Amino acid sequence: PRSMRRASCIPEFVNSMGRPSGSLCSVQWLRENLGRTDLRLFDCTWLLPNSPFASVRKLDSGRAAFQDAHIPTAQFWDLDAVADTCASPTPHNLPTREQLTARLNSAGVEKSSVVVCYDALGIFSAPRLWYTFRAFGHEKVAVLEGGLPAWIEQGYPIASGDATPVQGGGHVGWDKVDGVQWRLEDVVANIQNNQAQLVDVRPSDRFHGTAPEPRPGMRSGHVPGSISLPFTELLTDASTHAISTLKPPELLLQEFLKAGVNPTKPVVGTCGSGMTAAFLGLALEQVEGAEDTMFGLYDGSWSEWGGRHDTPVTNPTDSESSVRV
């Protein structure tokens, strides 16, 4: 893996604490900057069936949620449609250079554009789109803290129906940063060479094999040598915060250290299907001293690894499931 951000990158945004940020922006900042001609706003709501993130406002698809309510000037980004499905068996892998170029040109995104990503759940799928932009070298991109719920809570205007058409762009130089997308063979090699800390953000009971996988045909357990840090541990407590956001930097650092993750050493994220692993990259950028930590994401994640029978699995509850390549 390698850093998706240059140390010299000047913070473009202001976060909810009123501080300059290169990767988070507050709804207040967005409200004040919504009329900028260089701003591109994307609603990338993605819903996970059979989970607490399965629906929003009783709607069961991201596109339906966008049609129902979105921030004015936002465009909808379908994470499953703009994806290279040949890279792994998961539906929302990083797109190819050609796929990304076509989508960004249709959205009027240039290298100079300032991009904000959000979702209708507060924070769930927005980090994945943030990671996509960073993976292709675009640094002026942030996640909206609290997403659409925080925007609505402030009483700011919302729109419905289709997105407002924008003038297309013409930039073609979107090249993927080396090392930000990991594949199965990279993870296999990492078991032996420990090039990076493989951090699994699935719920801990799935990591330890004490709860079944929600996807049929999956083995239980985790990649040998991987570290468990459920992505929900990086979020504010739902019992005290009605809208989900990342925890403050000092608490994020505590979560990394408690899990046994060194935030200054290379990190590769994995999860169920490559969606929530992106939280790790976003969280690392908030921690002092870890802003430029090398970060990669295993797109296939457990959907690929746990769906095969020739990959090694550690499962303390079933010793027969631990096989070697």
Q: Please answer whether residues 228 and 314 qualify as being in contact, where contact means their C-beta atoms are separated by less than 8 angstroms.
A: no
Position 292: which residue type?
Answer: D
CB-side exposure of 184: number of CA atoms within 13 Å? 18
Going by their DSSP bridges, the two strands 24-25 and 141-144 should be labelled as parallel
Q: Please answer whether residues 138 and 114 qualify as being in contact, where contact means their C-beta atoms are separated by less than 8 angstroms.
A: no
Tokens of 104: 């960004």
Partner residues linked to 144 by β-bridges: 25
Phi, psi of 115 (to 5 degrees): -115, 135
271 is catalytic: yes
Helix axes 249-259, 278-286, angle to 10 degrees: 120
Task: Return the beta strands (E) in 206-248 as ranges.
Answer: 227-228
Helix, strand and coil percent figures for the chain, each rounded to 5: 25, 15, 60
Q: Just list the catalytic residues.
A: 271
